[in-house]
Structure 1
């Protein structure tokens, strides 16, 4: 009655059209009988499911799932002992399985690497934290982490980092939830997450924790809102994490909860319809999750499609006088994105661009110099579309010309301005320049510079010098053109 369910990055391909927040049953997991307490990981566009407890003994068989054809193919058995409640992860095109509980009730400390190209398993460095089963694992930036778990009645809280390129282990800060087993983990946006399970006092848990590898520290987040439980699954899609199913000492559960790290909040989603409610496995990519096995001897395999949500965290980068890079975060379930932008003036038409889901940015060109633009983006999720994101605004750099149409490019950085900023520009020939500062209502405040420029790059320091927070305009005048650029003082 022990298991681990992991999320790891997966670039799965599917042609199925699904509605948002929906489950669709796929082909049963390979093998003549089902399994529980198994592991799963992903490599490139395939998922791999193996080990676990098929009825009376633990297993070592492995099966590969191809989402494009919805088919299973048997692969090489795990080279080590058969086991249940093992730990698994994948990174850099390889899969890893280790630890767990063997058929003769012994706990293991070995680790094995799977190469899908050769279909072979290779022994790796043993886990230095000692033998155990039923903990959690996840990967962040090609480093993988293993923590918590149990060995008989001895519950664990230690937490370790594995470096695949050197095949070495290093101990990190203990799991924030203490000595716990039978809990899942997942990674999201450069952080790791783990929660639920039960502890060395046989107390069921609903606490939830975030690991920051840059700080090597755990922080307590909002507790999982469902009933306390263990043997859950967990995965992430886009900007959200998901945790659900599982059992307690009396009941099993099928609900799924979505975790939003930006707001540290949970929302209940469509319940899992499969028959493996405890000790299942889960894998995911940026658009879908796949969940299966578990329960008494589960074989079912289900695909989950999340809500079609708009992208978040819009940013504008590499702004020039005629181009800009528009960037956003991955949106769960998106198969492509639709970007619209326009000059920020009444009656100006929106210009639309479509971007494949593999990309989360686009460079737009042929913009007007010194002009304010606004843009927005929506997700397209198979047959559904999200609402548009909130509008993001930016101002292109100013281009001003001499009589011979020589140019100088201008920027103000930083903008918005907290205390001071630098006005920089390039003049390609001798040129007169006057820079004035105006309030938003058009009242002139001061002249910052009035000078003959020599060719080359120029920088002028700007200090708020008692100016109140608000919107101001810098006016640039030379013999050929007059331009303005908006600045914001915080």
Structure 2
């Protein structure tokens, strides 16, 4: 009589273990959160390779190309009313694959490509007066597909393509309208990378060098002028992480709640996945994938607790849709 009871006990124990495994809260599928919501369509013409910056809770989007024409128009987005308003046109030549950043309450835009020439001119936008002012030309070589970011009221431009792939890095001081060359980017030369700033540290990652998509991530400390390599975007079985889905070119990046986001772009095809970086732990976590069409050369920015992504190209079609990400909300 004891054997049936033993078998029954073993069967119950096995069933309990299987149930416990199926309910494991470390299952990666259970941890993917983030809710995407379609917002007011961009009011300008559909385009790719535009630029964006944010000032005082509003976003500014402009330039880019529809594949034939290049644009000079700029638009202001107000999240509180979910509306777009056209502002003063960019005064330089129409272009795409430029860079933009905010510093000291002003927007800055420069470099890029007009379809014939690589560019290095540089402009400031003042939202209080709705006026553009030409500033000192970028001190590096004329280029496109570079990165721009700001740290502690100063702007930075680096990497890109000037006929050769680049890794130089330059600081712009708005108070003196001057450029200063800084130690070159710590990784390989590249174009189509992304950059963001977290806790006074700049980060540059992704992009490609002669067609090879890059897997390194670098942090720049402006106080020491040192570049430090962080975890690579690979499958590292020794450290028990797999970030091999992250490398890409012409993605978007934005910052929400002092965490950096990377989404979209291309790597053997257009992508729609979205990842968030925690700088204190040097870790990446996947978020809910973007719910619009997979695309490259889109724009992205963060405002408050939300991220925003839009525009771009599928390869054959330029886009003008616009989406909002609530990063910590479960997808409906």
Shorter-chain TM-score range: 0.7 to 0.9
From 305, 313, 318, the counterpart of 1:287: 305
The answer for unaligned runs of 5 or more in structure 2 is: 1-32, 234-242
From 36, 41, 63, the counterpart of 1:23: 36
Aligned twin of 2:98: 86
Q: 2:141 & 2:229 partners in 1: Cα distance?
A: 26
Q: 2:294 & 2:300 partners in 1: Cα distance?
A: 11
State the Cα deviation string for residues 23-66 of structure 1 (Å, max 9, x = none).
Answer: 111011112x3110000001112111100012312111111111
Aligned-pair CA distance for 1:119? 1.4
Aligned twin of 2:128: 117
Aligned twin of 1:37: 49
Q: 1:240 & 1:223 partners in 2: Cα distance?
A: 17
Aligned-pair CA distance for 1:267? 0.9
TM-score, normalized by length of structure 1?
0.57
Q: Structure 2 matches for 1:61-76, cutoff 5 A?
A: 61-76=73-88
From 190, 200, 203, the counterpart of 2:212: 203
Q: Does 1:181 align with 2:191?
A: yes
Q: Does 1:212 align with 2:213?
A: no
From 120, 127, 150, the counterpart of 1:139: 150
Aligned twin of 2:320: 299
Q: Which has the higher contact order (CA 8 A, sep 6+)?
A: 2
Contact 1:276 1:294 (8 Å CA) reproduced: no
Aligned twin of 2:4: none
Contact 1:275 1:300 (8 Å CA) reproduced: no
Cα RMSD of the aligned pairs, angstroms, is 1.5
Aligned-pair CA distance for 1:276? 5.6
Q: 1:29 & 1:122 partners in 2: Cα distance?
A: 25
Aligned-pair CA distance for 1:87? 0.7
**Count of paired positions:** 285
Q: Does 1:252 align with 2:270?
A: yes
The secondary structure found in structure 1 opposite 2:77 is strand
The secondary structure found in structure 2 opposite 1:128 is coil
Consecutive aligned runs of 4 or more in structure 1 exceeding 3 Å deviation: none
Q: Does 1:106 align with 2:117?
A: yes
Aligned twin of 1:239: 258
From 245, 249, 265, the counterpart of 1:230: 249
Q: 2:293 & 2:40 partners in 1: Cα distance?
A: 14
Aligned-pair CA distance for 1:74? 0.9
Aligned twin of 1:159: 169
Q: 1:306 & 1:212 partners in 2: Cα distance?
A: 27
The secondary structure found in structure 2 opposite 1:99 is strand
The answer for unaligned runs of 5 or more in structure 1 is: 1-19, 309-380, 382-490
From 292, 295, 306, the counterpart of 1:277: 295
* Higher Cα radius of gyration: 1
Aligned-pair CA distance for 1:141? 0.9
Aligned-pair CA distance for 1:268? 0.7
The secondary structure found in structure 2 opposite 1:59 is coil
The secondary structure found in structure 2 opposite 1:170 is strand
Q: Does 1:51 align with 2:79?
A: no
Q: Which one has the bigger strand percentage?
A: 1
Q: Does 1:129 align with 2:140?
A: yes
Aligned-pair CA distance for 1:227? 4.8
The secondary structure found in structure 2 opposite 1:206 is coil
Aligned-pair CA distance for 1:245? 1.0
Contact 2:206 2:213 (8 Å CA) reproduced: yes
State the Cα deviation string for residues 179-207 of structure 1 (Å, max 9, x = none).
Answer: 111111000111001111101x3211121
Q: 1:186 & 1:115 partners in 2: Cα distance?
A: 22
The secondary structure found in structure 1 opposite 2:112 is coil
Contact 2:125 2:133 (8 Å CA) reproduced: yes
Q: Which one has the bigger helix percentage?
A: 2
State the Cα deviation string for residues 253-307 of structure 1 (Å, max 9, x = none).
Answer: 1111111111111111111112362011111134111111111311111111122
